[in-house]
Copies of this chain bind each other. A is one copy, B any other.
Amino acid sequence: MFKDATPEEIDQAVMLSDKAFREYRRLSLKDRKRLMYAIAARLENSGSDIIHCAMEETNLPEARLKGERARTILQLRQYADACEQGDWLEVRIHRANHTTGAPDIRKTKVPLGPVVVFGSSNFPFAYSTAGGDTATALAAGCPVIVKGHPAHARTSRMVADLIMEAVREEGMPEHVFQHLHGTSFEVGRQLVMHPGIKAVAFTGSLAGGKQLFDWGQQRKEPIPVFSEMGSTNPVFLLPEKLQEESASIARQYAQSITQGVGQFCTNPGLILGIAGTGLRNFKETLKEEIKKTAPQKMLHAGIAKAYDTHKAAALQQQGVNVLANSDVASHIEEGVPLVATVSGEAFINNPLLRQEVFGPFSLVIECKDMAEMAQAAGNMEGQLTSTIMGTEKDLLEFSEVVEMAANFCGRLILNGVPTGVTVCRAMHHGGPYPATTDSRFTSVGADAILRFVRPIAFQNWPDHLLPDELKDANPLGIRRIEE
């Protein structure tokens, strides 16, 4: 339906982006906020056509997509407010010391330059064209080129049109936002390798994210590539808690595993417990719940196929048994919920079982004791989240497991589910590799702006020529640290 951007079109887009950067980076925080609010307003008034288009392209239900659009609007406004409020500039002021001769030094942040955004397939609004990456790059002062996701190319185009309308009507630099189509790897490669591009944000698979990262590092001038990739989000069911609440935990998790056909980056793919009555009861209820959960259409044929392939590969591993398979009749491209079990020992010895199966799948790992659970925890790769289900007593007794869980994840949850990511400043959505390619930055919450800026210090500069945030009178009224 859409043609891939040609090498010439990509060159031209980057050139225009760089040109827009020269103007856009000079705009005040208030102006950036105005643009972001204008985009939010257009999304808010975008009516049902765009929702129907997204429904067709992603198979996601109407209510979910309406909710996701509302989240996208909330993000734009929240990050716009944070942009204006200016905490992210992390201003430090060191006044001249005439006794020691130390000069006046003041530090703020400046934008990196043109950013390429590769949206995710599972969030066609909130982590795609007008999503968190675009919003935080615009807040940072960076122009954005979105490579539209081929799995929702029309939706992406419609959102892009809204953004470009906002850009025009607010009198912003014309090419501060651009949108390109591309189904081939080559479009992505050329964008990331282009010397005019200064940062990249991506949400998707490990293979895709790692490839973009590698390209970014192999350039003559390496650039930051923020890939948010796979995660199995291990859950540790501790014994006392499980003894007390096995049925309600099982119901909670059946929901979390199958919600949105399991197509969340925080989907709980590994559940570790210690063999015993508690775990037996948990499994029993989980089985009942999964059996009655209806399969649903996945995002697209490719994802449905990959789900079946990865699920089958996991089930072929030694010691893996099916605990429950949905009993409800399924149709083509639907993801059938399935939970399997394996012993702690078999899990520890088989790295393949640590790989993500993207979809409504989870593996229950039955450890024989605390030591085995700790060993399994010690083997985990980097994760977006880790969850502990435990009583106070459990937490003290399993403190080693808790510490290990903290060590491999970006968010440590107690007595909850990993699905559902609150958009707030205290959120950290990120984690050690391979959850992301840069554990030091978040992709959710206003701190995500920090991905697209770098510090600069002004030495001995006269007050009236300093950026506003550094002026003595603090005309922007932002939080600053002075020494």
A454 located at the interface, meaning its Cβ lies under 8 Å from any Cβ of chain B in the complex: yes
Contacts of A179 in B (CB 8 A): none
A455 touches B434 (CB 8 A): no
A105 touches B426 (CB 8 A): yes
B481 touches A87 (CB 8 A): yes
Contacts of A147 in B (CB 8 A): none
Contacts of A425 in B (CB 8 A): 92, 94, 107, 481, 483
A15 located at the interface, meaning its Cβ lies under 8 Å from any Cβ of chain B in the complex: no
Determine the residue in chain B with the shortest Cβ distance to A470. B426
A410 touches B455 (CB 8 A): yes
A224 located at the interface, meaning its Cβ lies under 8 Å from any Cβ of chain B in the complex: yes
Contacts of A410 in B (CB 8 A): 454-457
Contacts of A459 in B (CB 8 A): 411-414, 416
Contacts of A465 in B (CB 8 A): 395
Contacts of A355 in B (CB 8 A): none
* Copies per complex of this chain: 2
**When A427-B105, A459-B412 are in contact, do A440 and B454 touch as well, CB less than 8 Å?**
yes
Determine the residue in chain B with the shortest Cβ distance to A410. B456
Q: How many chain A residues have a CB neighbour from B under 8 Å?
A: 61
Determine the residue in chain B with the shortest Cβ distance to A106. B426
Contacts of A430 in B (CB 8 A): 454-455
A426–B456 Cα gap in the complex (Å)? 9
**When A94-B427, A413-B459, A414-B462 are in contact, do A422 and B222 touch as well, CB less than 8 Å?**
no
24 of the cross-chain contacts (CB-CB < 8 Å) are A90-B447, A92-B425, A93-B426, A103-B422, A107-B428, A214-B217, A217-B217, A217-B222, A221-B432, A221-B434, A409-B456, A410-B454, A411-B459, A412-B461, A413-B460, A414-B459, A414-B462, A415-B460, A416-B460, A424-B483, A426-B457, A430-B454, A430-B455, A439-B454
Kindly list the 9 A-B residue pairs having the minimum CB-CB distance in the complex, ordered from nearest. Answer: A94-B426, A428-B457, A92-B426, A439-B454, A217-B217, A105-B426, A413-B459, A94-B424, A411-B457
